[in-house]
Amino acid sequence: MAKVILTHEVSGLGVAGDVVEVKDGYARNFLMPRKLATAWSGGAEKQIEAMRKARRAKALESVEEAQAARDALQSAPVIVVAKAGESGRLFGAVTTADIAKAIGDRAVVDKRRIHLARPIKDLGDHEVEVGLHDGVSATVTVTVISAE
């Protein structure tokens, strides 16, 4: 088992500044190459405390912003344009990156905070959960229309 410090939020593992124990291969092959974590060391305590302090300060000011963003997102559906066949099936699938791009100027949303219950592979309306902040999430209606 390897002890690492998370530098970004990792779903199911923790948020930036958390010290977690993971399997060696997961740390070496996934977290560290993607710069999601750094190796833990005794001298890293100051770095951890600085990350936690920054996260607390950001959290206090962004709760109101997250609630405003939630209201903006839930007020109208998000429209995604995709190529589809005549039967309404998409050529491929709508990704979280596509949804984040379509949200655009309504709110700043990280594609990793968008949770799809299942892949979106057909035209129409779909419900998507978007995490905006700890305890603040929005249920957004994503309307997929044909590119024609």
Q: Which of 27-31, 37-41, 52-56, 70-74 has the lowest mean pLDDT?
A: 52-56
pLDDT value at 104 more than 60: yes
pLDDT at 23: 94
Tell me, what DSSP letter sits at residue 86? T
pLDDT at 57: 64
Higher-scoring residue by pLDDT: 103, 46: 103
Residue 101 identity = K
pLDDT at 34: 92
Integer CA distances (angstroms), 12 to 25, 31, 111, 132, in order: 17, 13, 16, 16
Quickly state the pLDDT bin for 136 (edges 50, 70, 90): confident
- Please write the tens of the pLDDT for every residue from 7-24: 888 888 888 778 899 999
Q: Work out the percent of the chain whose per-residue pLDDT is above 90.
A: 30
Task: Give domain limits for the chain.
Answer: 2-62, 66-146
Spatial distance between the Cα atoms of 27 and 37, rounded to a whole number of angstroms? 8
Segment 23-28 long-range contacts (CB within 8 Å, at least 24 positions apart): 27/2, 28/2
Sheet holding 19-22, edge to edge: 19-22, 2-6, 37-39
- Please write the tens of the pLDDT for every residue from 43-96: 777 777 777 777 766 665 677 788 888 888 888 899 999 999 888 899 999 999
Question: What value does the mean pLDDT of the chain take?
Answer: 85
Neighbours of 88 (CB within 10 A): 12
The neighbouring-strand residues paired with 122 are: 89
Domain 2-62 belongs in CATH node 3.40.5.10? yes
CATH topology of domain 66-146: Ribosomal Protein L9; domain 2 (3.10.430)
Residue identified by tokens 């998507």 is 128
Say if residues 81 and 123 touch (Cβ distance below 8 Å): no
Spatial distance between the Cα atoms of 62 and 56, rounded to a whole number of angstroms? 10
pLDDT at 21: 92
